[in-house]
Structure 1
Amino acid sequence: MLKRFTVVLLIGLLAWAYQATHPPPPSICGSPGGPPVTAPRIKLRDGRYLAYKEHGVSKEVAKYKIIFIHGFLSTRHDVVITANAPPEFIEGLGLYIVSFDRPGYGESDPDPKRSVKSLALDIEELADQLGFGSKFYVIGQSMGGQVVWGCLKYIPHRLAGATLLAPVVNYWWQGFPANLSTEAYNKQPQDQWTLRVTHYIPWLTYWWNTQQWFPASSVISGKPYILSRRDLEILSKFAGRENPHKAQVKQQGVFESIHRDLMIGFGSWEFSPMDLENPFTNNEGSVHLWHGDEDDLVPVTLCQSLCNAILLKNFHGFNTMSYLVLDTYFQLL
């Protein structure tokens, strides 16, 4: 009897472990029972669909053609440039901006093979199908800023310029001074285990961020506890405002959107941004990085170290590095 009970218990534990660590299949937009398709989409090389949204002037009259890459827990609708700048400012500069749902977010199909490189190739294909021409600009915010490093690595020949807005840093990128990386990592006490799980045992990412025993990602829970005083003051100004598109962020499932974002963003990269070569050897373009100097959620010290390393390599295209407090940043945009 005891042996039989032990076998049944073991089978039950194995079944529970399998279910807990294997996310349910995504609810793909346009599929039976899935969310509806409301956005224009392109069909990519592997059959996936990528949803996008156009902003600003038409591309026929545009002076600058830009692809905007949204951040974590966001969609194509969340574009800081258009959200904080009056339409006449956008039109006066002649900006044609296309934002898109990264795979698994919003109405873009999930990509189980998503990687730093595949995201850059998705962007290149989006530009080609929408007729951007041989060169275009990319702007990435937060986790989307991290994607820009992939563009500089894999499609530098297509870029007229690039901008990173408070880009997320991977603590395991090669080239950081060990003491600096450790110091910044230790400032994330609640998220340390989330980051460790994501980096070292990514197949547990879904379980870790859905279980109730240990604290999971503070950003996913909506309680980023290490925001600075000035960041909190800014957020208070948006209190009570409901994002009408919030439900779209995870409508296809949490795993293929935000969890896979974590796995890629904090996983093992094939390169470090500090190893990038200058894509603008003839000064035909530039790379700009903007970061709040009181940002502790995305440690500004590591961004400073990264940029200094790039500049030491005579990366002349990287000719602008700006630090400013976040409220000034919003005013400028």
Structure 2
Amino acid sequence: MADNAPPSSWRDELVSLVDDPGVHYVAEGFEIGEKKRMDFRSINDGAEHQRVEESLQEQVKGFLHASVEMLHELAVGCKDILQQTLEDNDSFLVRHFGGPCAVVSSKLKFLNDYLPEDKDPVHAWPVVLLVFFLALSVLMTGGEQKLPVSQNNKLPLRSPRSPPNATRIQLPDGRYVAYQEQGVPQDQARYSLLTAHSFLSSRLAGLPGFSSSLLEEFGVRLVTYDLPGFGESDPHPYRNLNTSAHDLSNIADAVGIKDKFWILGYSGGGIHAWAALRYIPERLAGAALFAPMGNPYEQKMTKEERHKTWDKWTLQRKLLLFLARRLPSLLPYFYQRSFLSGGPIQPAKWLALSLGKKDKSMIEDQAFSEFWSRDVDESTRQGNPAPFVEEAVLQVSDWGFSLADLQVQKKGKDKGFFPWIKSMYSTVEREWTGFLGPIHIWQGMDDRVVPPAMNEYARRVVPGATVHRLIGEGHFSYFCFCDECHRNIFSILFGTPQGPLNKTQEEETPQDFPPAEEPLINTTVEQID
């Protein structure tokens, strides 16, 4: 009978799913009650759309849940296949790529030393690489952002074709170097002070905000110069720290400094002062270093010193240092999008700096902003990223020496085991080697550009260095635009001011540090300013 029944409509099928469909069975068969059916339709026609919507929501939820389960199972399956493929020595990947991968892995194994001891390299390096590419993408997109800057910083950069206006001297190798001379004349100078400028700076820096009367009061002749490729100086085809030190010696000869001179190094210029102490110690009377930059990859630094140094830097600065050491060819891209772009002056952003309270106040000062603009303008005059890349690479690559090499050591006349045993019991005094003059280091304890830990290492390995720890001071606040600070610095270096030499009196030689019979002892001086 059911086979002969007429096909039911979709409404009849829907009615059959409810508890009271309105179907009444009789003895002869069955019939559908029209009243019940109409009642059902009237009740359910209004709710039909809502039931359909609820059904779609459930279907979507079910679909998403099933998709997640499928993806999870797929990932587990891929992981199993990958493990089986790599663990099987007969697999295609292992046979063709196993050997080269093992060689590369062995060469890069040294990088594991930079990971925390409790981290598994297998899990740590993927995270490091992910963060690296995220930071790289931020750097690439960050250069397009237009940040608000003060009107004082909106000075356009000079065109590389602008006429030269600096005094230049020719070195023995034919290169020309631009320099600037301030203070007393050559024949009246009691002390000659040569300054190597820092990264993104020029000969115009010198002692930012110093008083000319202060130089005259102490009888100081200040000579500043542009590093190769900076400002108006010619580039050096094979630049390193050895050539940098000999450039200093040649510049001193060219400007008429016949006696020993003092070397001043500030921030990134500190590496050139360290080089002078290493390669031309016989030309130096002393060294004044202000937050001098060291090599953050120095192998003789302790783990604690290295950690405290890197911990103070921003992620962007760490990335730029890494690129300078491993991928310097990428640096021109970032430099051309920042300080070589011709845009507004933004020192903290360009150098990826995190500044302390006093430094933030300093860079917002109008006098400092105007000075910074002129200095950066002159530094980037040639518009060429090559010298900046060279300078960045010099900071983080092998210097050719360690700061520990500046340590005063005994010079043994004889070499070998038995002369060494004899020397252990000998009371004969011998000659001391290394730089025997004074080395003064000023370090702001709130400096986040050159962290204090970097110069705690310098104090540890360089005998004779006097470290002046400046409580509460930053990277710029003590060295720049502080008359009292500059007077204090000169008093420490040169003693009581005696003014320039009198032409009518007998010629005096600039004060040199007397030869020492014993090595000097490290001293630390704390100053609260």
**1:211/1:53 Cα in 2 relative to 1: closer, same or farther (>3 Å)?**
closer
**1:48/1:302 Cα in 2 relative to 1: closer, same or farther (>3 Å)?**
same
**1:302/1:119 Cα in 2 relative to 1: closer, same or farther (>3 Å)?**
same
1:322 and 2:468 correspond: yes
Q: How does 1:216-227 map to 2 (within 5 A)?
A: 221-222=349-350, 224-227=352-355
Instruction: Show structure 2 runs of 5+ residues with no match.
Output: 1-159, 339-345, 410-431, 487-529
After superposition, give the CA deviation of every residue in 1:294-329 in whole Å (9 maximum; x if it has no partner).
00111111211221222xxxx23x2x2101124455
- On the 8 A contact 1:35/1:252 being kept in 2, the answer is no
1:306 and 2:458 correspond: yes
- In structure 2, distance between residues paired with 1:151 and 1:237: 34
Q: How does 1:55-134 map to 2 (within 5 A)?
A: 55-80=182-207, 83-134=208-259
- In structure 1, distance between residues paired with 2:369 and 2:167: 30
Partner of 2:295: 170
- On the 8 A contact 1:103/1:256 being kept in 2, the answer is no
- On the 8 A contact 2:179/2:226 being kept in 1, the answer is yes
Q: Which amino acid aligns with 2:328?
A: P
1:260 and 2:406 correspond: no
1:51 and 2:178 correspond: yes
After superposition, give the CA deviation of every residue in 1:244-282 in whole Å (9 maximum; x if it has no partner).
353221121342332221011122221111221339969
- On the 8 A contact 1:186/1:192 being kept in 2, the answer is no
Instruction: Show structure 1 runs of 5+ residues with no match.
Output: 1-32, 213-217
- On the 8 A contact 1:70/1:100 being kept in 2, the answer is yes
Secondary structure of the residue aligned to 2:294 is: coil
Give TM-score, length-normalised by structure 2. 0.51
- On the 8 A contact 1:72/1:258 being kept in 2, the answer is yes
- On the 8 A contact 1:117/1:150 being kept in 2, the answer is yes
- In structure 2, distance between residues paired with 1:257 and 1:283: 29
Secondary structure of the residue aligned to 1:265 is: helix
User: What is the aligned-residue identity percentage?
Assistant: 29
**1:78/1:293 Cα in 2 relative to 1: closer, same or farther (>3 Å)?**
same
- On the 8 A contact 2:328/2:389 being kept in 1, the answer is no
Q: Which amino acid aligns with 2:242?
A: K
- On the 8 A contact 1:228/1:295 being kept in 2, the answer is yes
Partner of 1:147: 272
Number of aligned residue pairs: give it.
288
- On the 8 A contact 1:250/1:257 being kept in 2, the answer is no
- In structure 2, distance between residues paired with 1:86 and 1:232: 23
Q: Which amino acid aligns with 1:107?
A: E
Shift of 1:208: 4.8
Q: How does 1:17-56 map to 2 (within 5 A)?
A: 34-56=161-183
- On the 8 A contact 1:52/1:100 being kept in 2, the answer is yes
Shift of 1:86: 2.3
Partner of 1:233: 361
Partner of 1:5: none
**Structure with the larger helix share:** 2
Shift of 1:201: 2.7
Q: Which amino acid aligns with 1:124?
A: S
- Structure with more contact order per residue of length (Cα contacts < 8 Å, sep ≥ 6): 1
**1:132/1:278 Cα in 2 relative to 1: closer, same or farther (>3 Å)?**
farther
Partner of 2:61: none
Partner of 2:485: 332
**1:284/1:194 Cα in 2 relative to 1: closer, same or farther (>3 Å)?**
closer
Give TM-score, length-normalised by structure 1. 0.79
- On the 8 A contact 1:169/1:299 being kept in 2, the answer is no
Q: Bigger CA drift: 156-165 or 283-292?
A: 283-292
**1:265/1:219 Cα in 2 relative to 1: closer, same or farther (>3 Å)?**
farther
Partner of 2:446: 294
Secondary structure of the residue aligned to 1:138 is: strand
